[in-house]
Structure 1
Amino acid sequence: MVDINPPIAGCVCDAADHGIDIDFQSSPNRICANWQDFYDPESGIKWSMMRRVASRIPVCPAVLSQVPLASVTPLMLLIPSVLANGKPTILTLRSQNEANLFDVVC
């Protein structure tokens, strides 16, 4: 079998509670995130990376910090960070399959 498709992207939420998405964080030095429904039915997910980026635009935003993930599971992730009050922080989840194709979700 040949895998020509990237992983199927799920949902990334900014909150400590699974399935909940919020517009603010209560701590100035951590970001809580949870995610669900990422998978690849053909070759499986090889690795994933959670990144904190400066903005959604441009297509290749500056990566402020990143954390490798052992697997894409619906768990909470704490990223040690120094957050500026009033400045948005965007979390992205990049998943790559065994065919080296990837998908990124903000």
Structure 2
Amino acid sequence: MSVPVYNFSTCTRCRQLVGSCAGCTEGAFFDADGSVLLPLVYGHESIAGNMPMSSLPSVGCRECNAAFGYLHHVGCRAEVCPKCGGLIVECGCSLKWRPQIKA
């Protein structure tokens, strides 16, 4: 059984205690070719074909405690890559995270 990442660590993206808030801050991933990919929020992973709709969560993410409809925290082992649909910590897409710039 894996140990959740929300064991009192601080998210390097939002600077909040992981597990103490609904989810992480807004932002986007940037690919090496310059394309922008929006992150998949917790509970919407079925968009990438990784979770059947019948498995929609009734509790927070098992790894980072993000609430349904919120972003996963940095390093969450359950976050799905918006490019390939694999787990972002294992996929090798090398996406870079940037906060969204508000106009």
**TM-score scaled to structure 2, two decimals?**
0.29
Higher relative contact order at CA 8 Å, sep ≥6: structure 1 or structure 2? 1
Structure showing greater radius of gyration is 1
TM-score (norm 1): 0.28
Counting strand residues as a fraction of each chain, which structure ranks higher?
Answer: 1
